Amino acid sequence: MGAMRALPALALLAVLGAGGVAVAAESSDQPAALVERRAPLRPPPDFTLQDWLGVVTGFAAPPPAVPAPEKRYDWHLFPFVIASPLVGVGGGVASVGTFRLGEPRSTGYSSFAGSAIVTSNGQVSVGLLTDVRLPSNDWLLVGDWGWSHFPNPAWGVGGDTPDSNRTIVDRKELRLNETGYRRVVGHVYAGAGYFLDSFYDIVDRRAALGAATAFSSYGIGTQGRSFSAGLSANLLLDTRDNPVNPMAGTYLLARYRFAPSEMGGETRWHSLYLDARAYLPVGGPADTLAFWAFAWRSSGRTPYLLLPAIGGDPERRSGRGYIEARHVGRDLLYGEVEYRFRIWEFLGGVVGANLHSASDRTGPEGEPVFRTWSPAASVGLRAMLDRRSQSNLVLDLAVTGRGGLAVYVNANEAF
């Protein structure tokens, strides 16, 4: 879960040394732009980061005066290095690419991103994210497939769980999620999905030594095996000009997910996830004010590892500054704002803030209570990698209200 969510600065060198990434798909349950891309509001730079590095090192010539014909397929493979308290030291390989299945005037780019990682803390993860758009964007197929053995910390349910609650949960996970969207009218899509989340060999390390923990006391999906399978119903409106690097438009997603016991799940539960984003051009043509908010509610006997959690959103990009699943609840509210601007040529900057709260509703029924709000602030740099898609290499520094500090290296914006 989230092995690729945060890469520290060492990964930056690995990415640059491999020549960069043309387009990196970071969505796991949300399709990219659903209509033909309009002309970008932000004028692309004459040189991208790859161009400058190529000229300086002598491995590439400046871009030609006449653009080359559009490529229908683009693929990159590069190594990376990770170092953080969560994983210790680790490394792996990532592959990202784009392809087009229809005419450029009516069909957007499909994309994929795969990764494999091994860490010094005994964590292993392989995953594949896909966003496939059939001709004329009439159908969209969005997948999130993976397997991992990824011990993670857990603190229990609630918005103000103390650091003393921390335990390490060892488990293996098989994840198979696929959603198909069909255009209804204009920018509106309806979709149906299937999800399978199989956790096994679940061990609470502190509980195994005889200690009482907040994780184990939840009692659903906290030891041995936890299997969930079910369906989802989705409604989507997407008017963003470019999903990789949005500068204008809106994005609205409603996803209802239900896991009936008749499909093999060990418990019956359901959840509702509502996501809203807006992008406003401000100031110069290179400046954008971006807003993101989501509300997430779970009901029934939801397994702990599938409860609403910070960093557990479909794209696993929320809550920069906080360890994934630091706050878990039956309900979660989240908001974020960013100001994005260009500094020079291929280099841009970002300043932002985010705020979240997990509810203290411990039972499956009842009204959520949000007593504690957790803020964070971030500042970052953006290096453009590809003119066509305007994809970015992202370097962010985030600090939390409790003084925690985290560095993130990723491909493309968090939202």
Residue 67 lies in a domain: yes
Mean pLDDT of the region 224-243? 92
Least confident of 10-14, 292-296, 344-348, 368-372: 10-14
Total domains in the fold of the chain: 1
Look at residue 233 and tell me if it is in a domain: yes
- Summarize pLDDT for 123-160 with one digit per residue, the tens: 999 999 898 989 988 999 999 999 999 999 999 999 99
Indicate if the alpha-carbon torsion angle 316, 151, 218, 266 is positive or negative: positive
pLDDT for 49 equals 63
Contacts of residue 229, Cβ cutoff 8 Å, sequence gap at least 6: 194, 195, 196, 197, 259, 263, 264, 265
| Residue-level pLDDT at 94 | 83
Residue 183, in any domain of the structure = yes
Q: Please list, in sequence order, all residues whose beta carbon lies within 8 angstroms of the beta carbon of residue 262, skipping any fewer than 6 positions away.
A: none
- So what's the pLDDT on residue 26? 34
Q: Region 180-196: what's the mean pLDDT?
A: 95
Q: Is residue 201 part of a domain?
A: yes
pLDDT score of 34 = 40
Domain annotation covers residue 141:
yes
The DSSP symbol for 36 reads P
Average of pLDDT values for 376-392?
84
Question: In this model, does residue 374 exceed pLDDT 60?
Answer: yes
Is the Cα dihedral 81, 25, 122, 311 positive or negative?
A: positive
Give the model's pLDDT for residue 15.
36
Give the domain extent around 66.
9-411
Q: Is the pLDDT of residue 204 over 90?
A: yes
Residue 191 lies in a domain: yes
Give the pLDDT score at 16. 37
pLDDT digits 0-9 by tens, 80-91 = 877 666 777 888
CATH number for position 342: 2.40.160.50
Q: φ and ψ at 136, to 5 degrees?
A: 65, 15
pLDDT of 244 higher than 90: no
Q: Tokens at residue 125, please? A: 């993860």
Any domain includes 56? yes
pLDDT at 20: 33
* Within-domain flag for 4: no
Spatial distance between the Cα atoms of 406 and 299, rounded to a whole number of angstroms: 32
End-to-end CA distance of the chain: 19
